[in-house]
Amino acid sequence: MKFVTKAHRNGDIILNEERYASIYKELTDVILGISDADIQTRHESKYSKKMSLSYAINDLLKERFIEKGWLKEAPIFQQEGYMKEKKWRLDFAKDSVSIEVAFNHGEAIAWNLLKPVLASEMNHVKKAVQTEVGVVICTTKKLKIAGAFDSAVGEFEKVCRYLIPLNNVLTVPMMIIGLEAPTSFKVVKNKINGRNVGSIVPLL
């Protein structure tokens, strides 16, 4: 998949430093390694009853990050009462880099951005993960449309707008990654047996 990026607090410069360069390349290689064919096959084989491509893309990212040794659903805190609750977990973590895959409602944008900050700063609750750089992966507006994502999903362009008013709160360097739409197909919404499903339609 192709993608666009937006750096926050020099996240781009830091991720290209020697200590982070290899892990950032690994991260981007995972994304670039997901082809249109991979997405179409996963959608049709596993999520054909779902409307959007978000399920297939999320599944492929999860599978491939795990293959590369990333810890999935990494707890931010080590203290009991926090570790088991999903809202206090990062989607993926490796070394001191954390990843949030943000295909959820636009109202969750601030929380998705805040989680890497919680994992980076000193806190009264004992840490399980110590983040130095955060990465947020989200859909661009084009993928949101072509992939039949729910209209309420927060897209890359909106996430970037949040960085300005939240600048003083988001103290950790970050890279926002917006996934681009497939170039060979789009998803068209159909109603089957009273249920909305997404059908793959090739682009001419």
Helices (H), the chain: 11-15, 18-32, 36-46, 54-67, 109-118, 141-146, 156-162
Kind and range of the H or E run holding 5 = strand 3-8
Task: Give Cα 170 to chain centroid, integer Å.
Answer: 17
Query: What separation, in Å, do the N-terminal and C-terminal C-alpha atoms of the chain show?
Result: 19
- Rounded to whole angstroms, the Cα distance separating 198 from 43 reads 9
* Integer Rg of the chain from CA: 17
Contacts of 173 (CB under 8 A, 6+ apart): 7, 8, 9, 10, 11, 14, 15, 132, 133, 134
The 10s digit of each residue's pLDDT in 178-189 is 999 999 999 998
Give residue 76's pLDDT.
81
The 10s digit of each residue's pLDDT in 128-151 is 567 899 999 999 999 999 999 999
The 10s digit of each residue's pLDDT in 50-106 is 999 999 999 999 999 999 999 998 888 777 766 677 778 899 999 899 999 999 999
**Rounded to the nearest 10 degrees, what angle do helices 36-46 and 54-67 cross at?**
110
125: tokens are: 């609750």
> What is the number of residues in the chain?
204
- Rounded to whole angstroms, the Cα distance separating 179 from 163 reads 18
**CATH number of this structure's domain 3-202:** 3.40.91.20
User: pTM for the whole thing?
Assistant: 0.93
113: tokens are: 């951005």
